[in-house]
Structure 1
Amino acid sequence: MKRGKFMEPIPTDLIIEIFSRLPAKSVAGFRTLSKHWASTLRSPGFTELFQTRSSNRPRLLLAAERNGEWLFFSSPQPQNRYEKSSHLDYHTKFSGDVSRYICSYASGLVYFPDLWLSKDASPVICNPITGMYESLPDLMREHHEILSLGTGELSWRSNIISCPAYDRSLSEGICINGVLYYLAQTVGVSSSVIICFDVRSEEFKFIDAECFNDQVDDTSELILVNYVGKLGGINWKYCQAGERRTVELSMWVLEDVEKHEWVKYVYSLPENEVLDSCDFSVAGVTTRGDIVLCMKYTCKLFYVFYFDPERNTLQSVEIQGFGTNLEAVENRGRVYAFVNHVEDLRVDDAKQLKSSISQVKHLCSCCNKVSQPNYHY
C-alpha cells in the first residue's frame, strides 16, 4: 500500500481557517497558485473573516526615516497591560527624497504628497508591508481633487467637488468610518473649523472647532485622533510639579457631530523617567482607548508609551529590532508611528499598486546619478 493513498483531503473550512491566520502577503502569494485558490481567497466570506481576525490583532506601524531612506517596521500592540517589551518585524525599505517630511496613513497604505523616486517628484501611495507602490499624476490645483485606485487610468477629478471656502489646512487628516477630517482656518477671520469629506458621497461639510482657538497655543501641533470611533484632538505640554517636569495631555472629543459639541479632558501623566526626558510625539489612540506616545528618534533603548485615561496608568513598552545602524547615535532616524495597523485584503496590490519599490533606481536630485543608500538594514 502506497503511503498517503487513502489520506482524507483537508476540509475546506479548515483550510480557510488556517489561511485567515496568515499574513496578507502570504495570502496574496497563494492567490496566484490556481484559479481555485484565487476564487476561494478572494471570496467575500474569506475577506470578511480575514478582516475580523486582523482587526483583533492590530499592530503599531513604524516608519523610520534618515537622509531620504525609509524603513518600515511593525510590532504587535500590547494585548495586556503587563507587557514590557516587543520586537519589530521588518517589512520593506526604499530611498527617495521627500521635500516635505510628511507621510500620511489610511487603510493600510502610506501616502507621500511629494516624493522623488526617479527623475521627477510626484505624489506616491505605497503598501509598507509588500513594498508595492503607485506614482500618482501631479495635482493640477491646490485643493479638492479625487482619484480612485483600481478603476483603470489614473486621473484626478475636480469638476464635481464643491467645498465651502476656507483659508488653509492646519493639520494632517484622519479617516474615521469612511469620513476624512482635517483642521482648517476660515477665510478672513482667524477661526478653526473641521473639514469633513465623506468618501462615499463625496460631499464636504464644516464642523465648528472654535474651542481650539483660545485653548491651543499652536493649532499646527494639534493631532487629530480616532478616539473609540469619535473624532478627537490631542495637544500636550510640559508642566512643572515641584522639581519634576511632568507631561500634561489635553484631549477634545467631538461628542455630538450635529450640534458641534466638544468635550475637553485634561490628564497629567504618571511619573515616568524616560518619557519626561525624551522627545516624543502623539501617535494616536488604540481601539481600546489608550493614547499612544512614541519616541521621535531611533535609539538602542526605544520606547512606546500607552496611557490609559480611565485607569490613569502609563505602560512603557521597549521596542527592539531597528538594527544596529539605526540604533547608533550618529545614525538615528526620525520615527513616524501609526496605531491600529490592520492588514486589509480589500487593498489589492495587483490591481491598485503596480510597481515594487525595491526595483526603483533612485536618482540624486543634485547630480542626476543613481544614488546609493548610506547603510543597509
Structure 2
Amino acid sequence: MKLRVKEMNRGRRNLKQAASEQDFRLKQCQNIAKIMDTKRDNSSTLFKRKKRRANRAYNLLVMGCYLGLPLRTKRRRRYMSEIPLDLLVEILIRLPGKYLARFKCVSKQWSSLISSRYFCDSLTRSKQQQQEPRLYMCLVDEGGHRALLSMASTSPDNTSFVVDQDLSIPGMGGYYLNDLHGLMCFSMGKKACIYNPSTGQRLTLPKIKPDIIAEQGQTMYVKRHYIGYDPIDSQHKLLCTIVMYSDLFFNLKSEHWVFVLEAGGSWKKVVSHENYRPHTAFARGQSISGSVVHYLAWHDMYTCAIVRFDVRSEELTTIIVPEDVRDDMSIPALEMRAELIEYGGKIAIFEHSNLRTEGTAVLWVLEDAEKKEWSKRSLVLQPCQRHLVQDIELIVKGTTQDGKVILAPLDMHSGFYILCYDLQSNDLRKG
C-alpha cells in the first residue's frame, strides 16, 4: 500500500515537472518572439535614427564647407578647408530650382547667400549661357482661371514647344506677363508681384498712391507694369504706368512710378520732361531691349507711339508711329492689332490686324531711333496656312531667340495651342 502511494506521488511530481517544463518552454518561446519583435522595431528605429544622423551630418558638412567650421571625429579632429565662395556658387547654380528653395532652410547664411544679388546675377548669367530655348506664357481661360506655364523647345528650329512646368500662383492675374533674366512681373490684384521660378521667391510690392485724381467723367483707371535692368548698378527696376481717362481717351492723364528691387526699396515718381504727352499703355504691346524698356501707347484715339524708358536715367521719351500703320482704319485705337517685338536686334511693330481675315501682316522696323527712320515689310501667308488663323483672334506671346514670333489664341475655350511665325521665311507652323 505504501509502495502504491509512493508511486502515485512520484507520478504527480513527474506530471507537475513536465507541466512546469512545458510552461517554461512556452514562456521561453514567447520571450524569443518578444525579443524578435523588439529587434525588428529597434532595427526600424535604428534605421530612422541613422538616417536622421546622416541628414544632420550632411547639413553640418555643407554648412562647414561654406563657413569653414571644424569637423570632429572619434580618432582625431580634422579641419575642413573653406570652399571659395565662387566655387560654392558655381556648385549651387547647377542645381534645380526646387533644391535651391530647400537649401534656403539649411541656415541663415545659406538663405542670405541664395537670396543675395551676387547669387541671382550668377544664376542669371548661367541660364543665359545655357541658351535653352524656353517660353513663359500667362494664359486665361473662359472661366477666368489663370495659369503660368513654362515651355521648352523640342525641335532644333524652335518651332515646337512642350509644357514642362506649371508655375501658377494663386491670385495671379492678367494676360500681361513681363519676364527678364528669369524674373517675372505680373499683377496681384492692385499690386505688382515679382516672381523668381528658379528659387521659388515671390515679392509683392506695396500699393501705389497716385497723385492724379479722377475728375468728373473720368471712370477708367489702368495700371501697367514693366521690368527693366540697369547694368551699371546691377539693379532691376519696375516701371508702373498709371492712367485715368474718360470714354474714347478724352481728358487723358498719366503718371509713372519706379521701384528699385533692393532691400528697403519704395515707389518713386518719375519726373516728366517739358515735352511729355500723357498716354495710355497699349494692353498687349511691350518689349524689353537691354537697359531700355519699350511699350506701345496711345496719346489719343488716332495717335500711336512707342514709349522708351531708360532704366539707368529713368527718363521717358516717345516716338510717333508712322501714319501708314493706321491709314486704312477709321478708329485705329479700336481696330489696330499690333505688338511690339524685337527683330534683328531692333525694335519693330508686328501689325496683324488683317491676319485673320486676309492672311496678311506688316512688319515695321525702327531702323534709327534718333532720325525716326522706319522700314516696312509686307507678309502674306501661304494658302495652305490660312486655316490656322481663320476665325481666331490671336495674341503675341513673345519671340524666340532666333526671332520667330509666338502667337496664341486670345480665348482658351477652343483649346490651347501656339503658332510659330518665322518672319524671315514667312512660314507659319503650329507648335
TM-score, length of structure 2 as denominator length? 0.57
2:350 aligned partner, one-letter code = I
- Checking the alignment, whether the CA contact within 8 Å between 2:140 and 2:411 is kept in structure 1 is no
Q: Name which of structure 1's ranges 304-313 and 20-29 shifts more when overlaid on structure 2.
A: 20-29
Per-residue CA deviation, residues 30-89 of structure 1 (Å, 9 max, x unaligned), is: 244246645765677764553234231242222233444422211114551386551341
1:228/1:41 CA distance change after superposition, 3 Å: farther
The 8 Å contact of residues 159 and 420 in structure 2, kept in 1 or not, is answered as no
* TM-score (ref. length: structure 1): 0.65
Q: Offset at 1:239? A: 6.4
Summarize deviations over 1:171-221 as a string: whole Å, max 9, x none. Answer: 14433212122334457x954332211111111223232345544733552
Shift in Å at residue 154 of structure 1?
2.9
Task: Provide the residue aligned with 1:59 in structure 2.
Answer: 134
Give how far 1:256 is off.
1.0
Matches for 1:286-297 after TM superposition, within 5 Å? 286-297=400-411
Q: Counterpart of 2:168?
A: 92
Among residues 137, 145, 148, which one is paired with 2:208 in the alignment? Answer: 137
Supply the RMSD in Å over aligned alpha carbons: 3.9
Aligned-partner residue type, residue 162 of structure 2: S
Structure-2 change in CA distance of 1:249 and 1:137 (3 Å):
same
Give the AA of the match of 1:87: V
Secondary structure at the counterpart of residue 390 of structure 2: helix
TM superposition shift of 1:90: 1.0
The answer as to 2:332 corresponding to 1:259 is no
List gaps (5 residues or longer) in structure 2.
Answer: 1-57, 59-72, 213-253
Secondary structure at the residue paired with 1:54? helix
Query: Per the alignment, in what secondary structure is the counterpart of residue 76 of structure 1?
Result: strand
Match of 2:322 in 1: 210
Q: What whole-Å deviation, never above 9, does each CA across 1:267-295 have from its counterpart, x for those lacking one?
A: 12343333335332122322211111112
In the alignment, the residues of structure 2 paired with residue 221 and residue 36 of structure 1 have an alpha-carbon distance, to the nearest angstrom, of 50
- Could you tell me whether the CA contact under 8 Å between 1:166 and 1:184 is conserved in 2? no
* Counterpart check, 1:27 vs 2:100: yes
Residue 195 of structure 2 corresponds to residue 127 of structure 1: yes
1:161–1:202 CA contact under 8 A, matched in 2? no
Give the 3 Å change call, closer, same or farther, for CA 181–264 of structure 1 in structure 2.
Answer: same
In the other structure, the counterpart of 2:427 is 313
The 1:95/1:38 distance shift into structure 2, 3 A limit, reads: closer
| Corresponding residue of 2:290 | 177
Paired residue for 1:148? 260
- Whether 2:397 is the aligned partner of 1:278: answer no
Percentage of matched positions with identical amino acids: 21
**2:218 — aligned with what?**
none
- The answer to whether the Cα contact below 8 Å between 2:360 and 2:381 also exists between their aligned partners in 1 is yes
How far off is 1:156 after superposition? 3.4
> Does structure 2 conserve the Cα–Cα contact (< 8 Å) formed by 1:64 and 1:72?
yes
2:296 is paired with a residue of what secondary structure?
strand
Q: Is the 8 A contact 2:341 2:348 kept in 1?
A: yes
Cα distance 1:192–1:312, how it changes in 2: closer, same or farther (>3 A)?
A: closer
Do 2:151 and 2:161's aligned partners in 1 also have CA atoms closer than 8 Å?
no
- Structure 1: where are the runs of 5+ without partners? 117-121, 318-377
Aligned to 2:347: 231
The answer to whether the 8 Å contact 1:179/1:198 transfers is: yes
Q: Does 1:166 align with 2:277?
A: yes
Q: Is the 8 A contact 1:251 1:265 kept in 2?
A: yes
Larger helix proportion, structure 1 or 2?
2
Give the residue type in structure 2 aligned to 1:138: K
Give the corresponding residue for 1:200: 312
Closer, same or farther in 2 for the Cα pair 1:191/1:45, shift >3 Å?
closer
Q: Do the aligned partners of residues 123 and 83 (structure 1) sit closer, same or farther apart at CA in structure 2, a change above 3 Å counting?
A: closer
Secondary structure of the residue aligned to 2:388 is helix
Distance 1:31 1:230, change over 3 A: farther
Give, as a single letter, the amino acid of the residue that structure 2 aligns with 1:19: L
Asked whether 1:221 is paired with 2:337, we answer yes
Q: Which amino acid aligns with 1:162?
A: H
State the distance in 1 between where 2:421 and 2:413 align: 22
CA distance in 1, matches of 2:158, 2:311: 39
Aligned-partner Cα distance in 1 for 2:395–2:416: 13
- Does residue 71 (structure 1) correspond to residue 142 (structure 2)? The answer is no
Q: Which has the higher contact order (CA 8 A, sep 6+)?
A: 1
Given candidates 98, 101, 123, the residue that maps to 1:50 is 123
Work out the CA distance in 1 between the residues paired with 2:355 and 2:113.
Answer: 56
Q: Which residue of structure 1 aligns with residue 235 of structure 2?
A: none
In structure 2, the residue matched to 1:109 is 184
Structure 1 residues 316 and 21, CA, compared in 2 at 3 Å: closer, same or farther? farther
Instruction: Tell which deviates more after alignment, 11-20 or 171-180.
Output: 11-20
Whether 1:304 aligns to 2:418 is yes
Which region of structure 1 is more displaced relative to structure 2, 248-257 or 143-152? 143-152
Higher alpha-carbon deviation: 230-239 or 15-24: 15-24
Q: Is the 8 A contact 1:72 1:128 kept in 2?
A: no
- Paired letter, 2:137: L
Deviation per CA, 1:69-128: give whole Å up to 9, x if none: 4222111145513865513411223237x6xx553414222232xx54xxxxx2322417
| Counterparts of 2:121 and 2:196, CA distance in 1 | 22
- AA of the residue aligned to 2:151: S
